[in-house]
């Protein structure tokens, strides 16, 4: 009986602490859902609570989004850019992170910190020079590629790794350091090659770290605005972050309902993804914390 009471007290206390946090964090999602189904005139009626329907729910915002904007194209563009950038990031950051983790002494540490520092340079400083770089590339390659790099989603695919790779490398470096060298040594003694050791021993243990990189890089790409806005001007090539901002605010009139529908749709799979891999995600982030 005492044990039951103690358990209840402990859990109750946990809920007491977690409950308010959960409410605060879930509140924006609640507002998003309510607003997504509100009628336009409801937004301008301040005499009623903004947290519930006054004129009844409507699907007109979703209809507007899908019928009168290029929302599905923005979703597709974002998904393509996200997947390709994540792949590029993994291809570059996994070996780089591993090499840096195994570089002994201060050199490895300094190079790792140096790489991470490049991540901290804000896009607001970089977007002009990078726009020039893309323009130059476009001039040189448009005849060969038969399409313009500038203004296409592929310009973002080229630019985004400039901030995903440094962060992912630094993150993975910390993670690889937590893997005992003895495991690799044992595999090498048993006759495995260096590559075989990496593929059979190191990578399977590193799944939480790699998964963290995947989710984090994808989120960075989905949220990025400055480059996406500068490099792309045609609505049909826009990503979610710029499409919603530029096409759903018509002059002085934000299409609040459509904006919320547009935000809600991608946030659901992302939230599910985060929750499904939550434990591994935390392990990935804290992997290098103690070494």
Partner 1 sequence: MASSDDPSRREGRYDRRELIRRAGAAGISIGVAGSGFGQAFYGPLRFKGRWLKGDLTIIQWAHFVPAYDKWFTDVWSKNWGQKNDVQVKVDLILNTLLPARAAAEAASGSGHDLFFNLSPQAQFEDQVINHAEIVQEVQRKVGKIGGLGKRATYNPKTKKWFAFADNYVPDPVVWRHDLWNGVGIAPSTWENVRKAAPKLKAAGHPIGIGQSAELDSNMALMAFMMCFGAYVQDEKHRVTVKSKHTIEAVKFMADIFKSGETDEIFGWTPASNNNFLYSGKGSMILNAISATRTPEDLGLPFADQLYIYPIPKGPVRRMGLEHVMGSYSIWKFAQNIPAAKKFMADLEINYKDAFVASKFYNFPTFPGALPFKRIQKLAAADTHKPRGKYQILTTIAQKYTVNPGYPGYTNAAFSEVFGKFLIPKMFAQVSQGKMSAADAVSAADHDFRDIYTKWRKLGKI
Instruction: Name the site residues for partner 1 (rule: CB under 8 A).
Output: 40-41, 44-47, 127-128, 131-132, 134-135, 138-139, 150, 229-230, 233-235, 245-247, 249-254
- Shortest spacing between CB 84 and partner 1, in angstroms: 23
- Shortest spacing between CB 268 and partner 1, in angstroms: 26
3-state secondary structure of 253: strand
CB neighbourhood size of 149 (10 A)? 21
- Among residues 99 and 226, whose Cβ is nearest to partner 1? 226
Q: What is the distance between the terminal CA atoms of the chain, rounded to a whole angstrom? A: 43
User: Residue 254: phi, psi to the nearest 5?
Assistant: -70, 135
Closest CA to 162 of 85, 226, 222, 99: 85
- Shortest spacing between CB 61 and partner 1, in angstroms: 14
- Among residues 167 and 231, whose Cβ is nearest to partner 1? 231
Closest CA to 208 of 270, 273, 283: 283
- Shortest spacing between CB 223 and partner 1, in angstroms: 17
- Among residues 219 and 235, whose Cβ is nearest to partner 1? 235
- Shortest spacing between CB 240 and partner 1, in angstroms: 15
Q: Report whether 285 contacts 215 (CB < 8 A).
A: no
- Among residues 155 and 197, whose Cβ is nearest to partner 1? 155
Handedness of CA 94, 99, 104, 108 (dihedral sign): negative
- Among residues 40 and 178, whose Cβ is nearest to partner 1? 40
- Among residues 163 and 216, whose Cβ is nearest to partner 1? 163
- Among residues 64 and 116, whose Cβ is nearest to partner 1? 64
3-state secondary structure of 68: helix
CB neighbourhood size of 255 (10 A)? 21
Longest dimension (CA), the chain: 80
Q: Report whether 221 contacts 160 (CB < 8 A).
A: yes
- Shortest spacing between CB 70 and partner 1, in angstroms: 12
- Shortest spacing between CB 163 and partner 1, in angstroms: 18
Separation in Å, CA 9 to CA 4, 18, 22, 86, 269:
8, 14, 19, 45, 35
- Shortest spacing between CB 132 and partner 1, in angstroms: 4
Rounded CA separation 120/101 (Å)? 21
102, two tokens: 């195994």
- Among residues 87 and 133, whose Cβ is nearest to partner 1? 133
């Amino acid at each position: 009986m005492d044990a039951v009471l103690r358990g209840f007290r402990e859990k109750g206390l946990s809920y007491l602490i977690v409950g308010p946090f959960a409410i605060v964090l879930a509140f924006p999602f609640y507002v998003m859902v309510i607003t997504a189904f509100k009628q336009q005139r409801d937004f301008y009626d301040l005499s009623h609570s903004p947290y519930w329907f006054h004129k009844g729910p409507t699907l007109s915002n979703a209809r507007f989004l899908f019928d009168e904007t290029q929302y599905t194209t923005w979703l597709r563009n974002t998904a393509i850019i996200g997947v390709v950038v994540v792949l590029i990031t993994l291809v570059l950051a996994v070996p780089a992170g591993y090499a840096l983790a195994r570089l002994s002494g201060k050199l490895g540490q300094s190079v790792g910190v140096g790489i991470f520092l490049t991540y901290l340079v804000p896009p607001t400083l970089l977007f002009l020079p990078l726009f020039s770089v893309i323009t130059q590339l476009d001039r040189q390659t448009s005849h060969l590629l038969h399409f313009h790099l500038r203004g296409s989603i592929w310009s973002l695919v080229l630019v985004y790794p400039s901030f995903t790779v440094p962060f992912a490398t630094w993150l993975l470096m910390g993670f690889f350091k937590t893997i005992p060298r003895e495991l690799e040594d044992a595999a090498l003694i048993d006759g495995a090659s260096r590559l075989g050791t990496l593929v059979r021993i190191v990578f399977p243990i590193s799944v939480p770290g790699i998964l963290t990189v995947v989710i984090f890089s994808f989120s960075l790409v989905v949220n990025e605005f400055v480059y996406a806005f500068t490099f792309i001007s045609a609505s049909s090539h826009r990503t979610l972050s710029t499409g919603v901002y530029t096409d759903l605010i018509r002059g002085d009139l934000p299409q609040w309902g459509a904006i919320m529908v547009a935000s809600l749709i991608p946030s659901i799979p992302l939230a599910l993804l985060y929750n499904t891999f939550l434990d591994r995600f935390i392990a990935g982030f804290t992997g290098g914390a103690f070494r």
